[in-house]
């Protein structure tokens, strides 16, 4: 569904955008709207800074962030695929 929206925006407006926020920023010529990746990175950073996580947990959260940014969403099945699955294999209960 997301890829269809991107395709339609590219056809109708001839804009090369990866998110609805980027589309609005281009269409309205507003530079003050942060892009999707900036927002996600800032939210993850704020969350990590607000908690006491060990190095393994922070590594896992960074991997979750990476998958989320690549796919635009995160589903249950993503935890069984690399790179997230790698954190569960052989790490004991460090993550939990």
Same domain (yes/no): 20, 43: no
Same domain (yes/no): 51, 82: yes
- pLDDT reported for residue 93: 52
Same domain (yes/no): 11, 40: no
Task: With a cut of 60, say whether residue 1 has pLDDT above it.
Answer: no
Mean of the pLDDT values across residues 85-90?
A: 74
What is the pTM (predicted TM-score) of this model?
0.65
- pLDDT reported for residue 46: 96
Mean of the pLDDT values across residues 23-28?
A: 74
Same domain (yes/no): 41, 28: no
Same domain (yes/no): 40, 29: no
- Structural domain boundaries enclosing 44: 36-88
> For 35-81, what is each residue's pLDDT tens digit?
778 889 999 999 999 999 999 899 999 999 999 999 888 899 998 89
Percent of the chain clearing pLDDT 90 (strictly above): 34
Same domain (yes/no): 43, 75: yes
Mean of the pLDDT values across residues 70-95?
A: 78
Which tokens in the block code for residue 82? 């690399």
- pLDDT reported for residue 77: 92
Q: How far apart are the two ends of the chain, measured CA to CA in Å? A: 33
Number of domains in the chain: 2
**Is residue 94 in a domain?**
no
């Amino acid at each position: 569904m997301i890829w269809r929206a991107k395709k339609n925006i590219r056809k109708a407006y001839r804009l090369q955008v990866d998110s609805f926020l980027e589309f609005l920023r281009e269409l309205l010529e507003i530079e003050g709207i942060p892009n999707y990746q900036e927002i996600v990175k800032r939210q993850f950073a704020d969350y990590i800074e607000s908690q006491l996580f060990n190095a393994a947990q922070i590594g896992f959260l960074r991997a979750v962030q990476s998958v989320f940014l690549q796919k635009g969403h995160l589903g249950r099945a993503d935890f069984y695929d690399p790179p997230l699955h790698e954190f569960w294999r052989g790490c004991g209960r460090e993550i939990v």
